[in-house]
Structure formats: C-alpha cells, structure tokens
A and B are shown apart, each in its own frame.
Chain A
C-alpha cells in the first residue's frame, strides 16, 4: 500500500521538474474533488428520492382524486401541460433558433437575439403572472370567461413562454456548431438553401437540438411558480383545457408543506415519479439518436 502510494507520488524533489510534478498532482486532486462535490448532491437527491419515493409508491398513489391519497391527477396534469407546451414551444423555439443561426446576421437578428436572451432571464413567476394577466385582460374585453385565468390553457401559455426562448437559444447554439464547410458542401451541390438547412444542417446539429429540446422540457416540467398563478392546481383529474389542473411540482409543493405525514410521503412519491419521467424522456431520446445515426 505504502509502496504503491510512493510509486504514485512524484519524487520528493523541489527543483523545477519536481515542482511541476507536484503541481500537476495537486491540480488533478483538486479537479477530482470538484467532481465529487458536484456529484454528491446529485447522488444524494437521487438516493433520497429513490428510497423515500419507493416507499410511497403503491397502487392507491395513482388514483386521480387527491382526497383518496392519489397523485394520478398530478401525473396526468404534468403530462398534458408539458406535452401541450412542448407542442407549441418546440416548433416555435427551433424555428427561431434556425432563423438566428442561419439568417439572423444583421441588425434584426441581433435584436431578436437580444430579446430572446432577455426572455430567458425573466423569472418564471413573472411569466406566470404575465399569462394570468393576459387572460384577465381578455376577459375584461369580454372575450373569455375570467375563470379561464386558472386553467390548463393559461398554464400552457406560461410554460411555453418560458420554453420558447430557452429552446431558441439552445437550438441556435447547436446549429452554430455545424461547420461552415458542411453548409458549403451542400450549397456547392446546387441544393437550394432551405433544403440544405432542413436536410443537412438540421440533422448535423441533431443531437444538440435534441439535448436543447430535452433540457427545455425538463425545465418546464419542474416549474412550480408559474403554475401557482395559472394552472392553479386541482383535487381532481383533468377536467378540460378551460379548467384548473394539478401538476407534479404543485403536488410536491403543497404536500411537502402539509402537516399530514401521509401527504409528506406522497410528496416523495411524486418527486420520484417526476425524476423518473425526466430520466425516461432523456434516455429514450438518446436511444433514438443512437439508432438513427449511421455506424462508424
């Protein structure tokens, strides 16, 4: 053991060469330490949510009615909210990203990029209030019922508003990584620009686009604040786009703060399910990318 350690350590010399070796060792140890520091919280969250969440998982947890101790309504609500928000935000965000990376060279592009950047930095609760007040203003104008302010639709507006700039920015970055030489190769074959972008540039940036889209999905799936003032939460299952809806983060929020230990436990169950949902999306998309890529 000691012998092995001695062989791993640099010689105890402090000339130029010795100092260099010791410095190298110190930096390597420091880097390793940082990795551990970064991984410890991640690991402990997973272990904690896994252990406590598993204990909470039983058939009744999936009931659609919260009064029966179920969080099925929250799972259902999160799936609906995230699916609808992604349905809006992914196409809009990715198209904005394409515009920014392929066409947005001039002043207009800079302006769009600036606004997208600002939008990514708006706190999500503010976006929630924005969606809420948009619906309220519409209701003042007599166009919709004021009760629509607390509904799935308003939640979807809030979530997609958060997601669009995020996806736009990550898509732009992903497409910028596609080398100019790849674009030139396509154009030099006499392929029209739009087709070169759709069929050559987009697939080349494919895994980056997908990662960005997934991060966007994961980001909004975990949002709580904007949903408090829009989707509001509900004790029952999904009742329509114009009705309030429960969501996993909201369930975790209310159940974790609840005095009932049964609800505290259900909050752990909800946390585990949320984490697993993200994991599933992430893994399955990576499998898709892998299957679609040509063999090396």
Chain B
C-alpha cells in the first residue's frame, strides 16, 4: 500500500532538550499504526510533529522532513496541514462554552462554513462515525461538558472527523477512560480505518495488539523497531523491544 505519510530524519527539541532523534518511518494509507514505548520516550512529540502542533509550544522546534502524499508539510501552511491531519488528545477537551452540536461544527464553522444544511449534514455524519449519534441525538444543544468521559472523547473524535481529515492522530485517547469506554473507542478505530489513516499513541500494549496493523516501538527518542503488529509482539527483532513488551523494564 502507498505511504500516506513519510517521515525522514525527523528530530525534535524542546529548547535544548532533544525529544526525538532522527526518526525515519512510513505510515501506509488505511492502516492503523500504533506507537508504543515508556513514558517520555517521545511518542507524543512524534505525532505532534506530524500535524505541526509541536511548534505551538514555545521554544519547540523540529528538523527533518514529513511528507503527506509526497508534499512536505513544513512547506504547506500549518492550518491546511491540520485540516488534513486531525488530532484527538489524551484528555477529552470539548470546547467548554459550546453545545454538542457547536463542538462538532466548530472546525467547519470557524473555517468559514455558514450553510446550515452543510453543517447539519456534517454533524450528523461525524457523530455517526464516532458512534455517538444515538446517545446524543436528542440533546445536541446541551453542553459538551455535560457528557461522560468516554462520550466526551468520542465527541472530540467527531469534532476531528467533521473537517474531513485524511489522517487521524490519536494521542493516548483511552488513557483516562474505563474499559467499556475504551472498548467502544477501539471498535471505532477499527471502523475508522476504512476511511482514514490512523496513528495511535498508546501506553497499553494490549491495545496496540488489538487495534494496530503495524506497531512502532520508541525508546529514549529513537525508533527501535517498526513492524507488523503481530511480528513485533511475537518475534521482536530487538532485545530492547522484547524486554519492553515482556514487561522487564519501562
């Protein structure tokens, strides 16, 4: 399958502290790729470089190239990159002053879409894709903050989907959720990959094994191993990977 995102020689810093080091890897279209590794290994930094959210942090910078369909994202306007590569964060972060409807419509509306029918259609489709429609269809004007944690996270997924991105980055989307809500999101990821390319950062190795086609193991900012999920977990090629997945450090 064609590479949707190609990363070449990517390094990133926070001030003088190096967070990731010379990473080269590709994400195939319609694949779910999991990125695993111990805390502080640069997983989040890596995916934040893919939609140029890394540079929103003061004194943060990145070097190397990231290509989306062959185009260097660091030569495109950041806003258009972020529209094509959506992101879901670790902690559900619906806009506190907006209703459920407005949260989902926010991306379109704040980018200039005013047509009510277009917005209605996008909200319906996104909430359905995020498997939230049935739970909220009668309360679209309620505050997004009134939903449960798992519902809020699916609301954030719907919000990200509404702008019709090509890639969805998920930064530990289930770390604050209970097992039932987690299972719902995992099912959702499985459905989403038909339409999107998904990159998910996770602490949970079982989760990577359940949802991902390919898995990358990061350690101290370096890409240690990147392989088909089954191979990585059953026949790790590196001693470090084996130690990590068998729980001998991390």
A-to-B contact residues, CB < 8 Å = 105, 179, 181-192, 195-196, 199-200, 203-204, 206, 293-296
Instruction: Contact check, A293 vs B97: say whether CB atoms are below 8 A apart.
Output: yes
Residues of A contacting B99 in the complex (Cβ-Cβ under 8 angstroms): 294
Residues of A within 8 A of B156 (CB): 185
Determine the chain A residues whose CB is within 8 A of the CB of B146 once the complex forms: 296
Q: Find chain A residues with CB under 8 A from B142 CB.
A: 294-296
Q: How far is the CA of A210 from the CA of B95 in the complex (A)?
A: 19
Q: Is the CB of B143 within 8 A of A294?
A: yes
Whether, in the assembled complex, B4 has its beta carbon less than 8 Å from a beta carbon of chain A, the answer is: no
Chain A residues with CB below 8 A from B107, complex form: 189-191
A187 to chain B, nearest CB (A): 6
Q: How far is the CB of A49 from chain B (nearest CB, A)?
A: 37
Q: Which 6 A-B pairs have the closest CB atoms?
A: A190-B83, A189-B107, A190-B82, A181-B93, A188-B87, A294-B99
Q: Which of A105, A182, A188, A199 has the most CB of B within 10 A?
A: A188
Which of B91, B95, B102, B111 has the most CB atoms of chain A within a 10 A radius of its CB? B95
| Chain B residues closer than 8 Å to A181, beta-carbon distance | 89, 91, 93
Residues of chain B contacted by A186 (CB below 8 angstroms): 95, 106, 110
Chain B hits for A200, CB < 8 A: 95, 106, 110
Interfacial chain B residues near A187, Cβ < 8 Å: 53, 56, 82
Known contacts A189-B159, A192-B79, A295-B143; 4 additional CB pairs below 8 A are: A184-B89, A185-B94, A188-B53, A293-B143
Where chain A touches its partner, the secondary structure class is helix
| Interface size, chain B (Cβ < 8 Å) | 35
- In the complex, A200 Cα to B144 Cα: how many Å? 14
Provide the bound-state CA to CA distance between A192 and B81, in Å.
12
Q: How far does the Cβ of A216 sit from chain B's closest Cβ, in whole Å?
A: 22
Cα A196 to Cα B79 in complex, Å, equals: 11
Quick check: B53 and A195 within 8 Å, CB to CB?
A: no
Question: CA–CA, A295 to B141, complex, Å?
Answer: 7
- Do the beta carbons of B93 and A184 come within 8 Å of each other? yes
Provide the bound-state CA to CA distance between A182 and B103, in Å: 11
Residue in chain A with minimal CB distance to B88 = A188
What CA separation (Å) do A101 and B141 show in the bound complex? Answer: 30
Which residue of B81, B110, B159, B160 contacts A195 across the interface (Cβ within 8 Å)? B110
CB distance from A193 to the nearest CB of B (A): 9
Query: Is B58 part of the contact surface with A, judged by Cβ < 8 Å?
Result: yes
Cα–Cα distance between A182 and B87 once the two chains are bound (Å)? 13
| Interchain nearest-CB distance for B63 vs A (Å) | 21
CB neighbours (8 Å) of B96 from chain A are 182, 204
Complex contacts, A195 vs chain B, CB 8 Å: 110
A126 to B79, CA, bound (A): 48
- Could you pull out 6 A-B pairs where Cβ atoms are within 8 angstroms? A179-B93, A191-B106, A191-B111, A192-B79, A204-B95, A295-B143
A185 touches B93 (CB 8 A): yes
B16 beta carbon closer than 8 Å to chain A: no
Most buried by A among B56, B81, B93, B159: B93
The reply to whether A199 and B110 form a contact with Cβ atoms under 8 Å apart is yes
